[in-house]
Chain A
């Protein structure tokens, strides 16, 4: 694995994680909106925003930790 490709891989990981967290936040926002908040819009926006914030935090941690190696946890 070339070291100059590491930045590209980090960006790929960051964008994939952002898409997943945005979708999960959106989905959970819909669930909470339907179940608890009488189909209002704000839980959906809140969930999406939370997902994006979590993704941003993960990306920031990933980019600022250049010496950590990403391993896989084998159950």
Chain B
């Protein structure tokens, strides 16, 4: 009786754990629409700095010196992929547009330097 009951009980516990994990993921909006996923990421980003602050103070890494009372504030994660991408494209394009002029300038300077060396 007990031999048959134990595997069933074990399966029940495992099933409950797996079901709880899936339910928590669903309840937090991780398996929903794109807006819900973005909202969940924003909530996690907002919760991260206080959690880091709490953890560092728990471990005892808060340094008190004459100049400053606490560690510098934890950085805020305000990441916008499209802004970063656009800025990257603008930087690359502006560098390409001034590249011929810069190349000419460097060539002239280099030629002048060599002429001075040869003199």
Contacts and interface: CB of A to CB of B under 8 A. Distances in A.
A45 to B, nearest CB: 18
Interface residues of A, number: 29
A12 B80 contact: yes
B-side interface mostly: helix
Contact of B40 (A8, A11, A18, A20): A20
A11 B37 contact: no
A54 B18 contact: no
B34 interface: yes
Contacts of A62: 34
Interface of B: 14, 17-18, 21-22, 25, 30-31, 33-35, 37-38, 40-42, 80-83, 85-86
A-B pairs, top 9 by smallest CB distance, nearest first, are: A17-B37, A8-B82, A24-B30, A58-B34, A16-B38, A20-B37, A17-B34, A16-B41, A13-B38
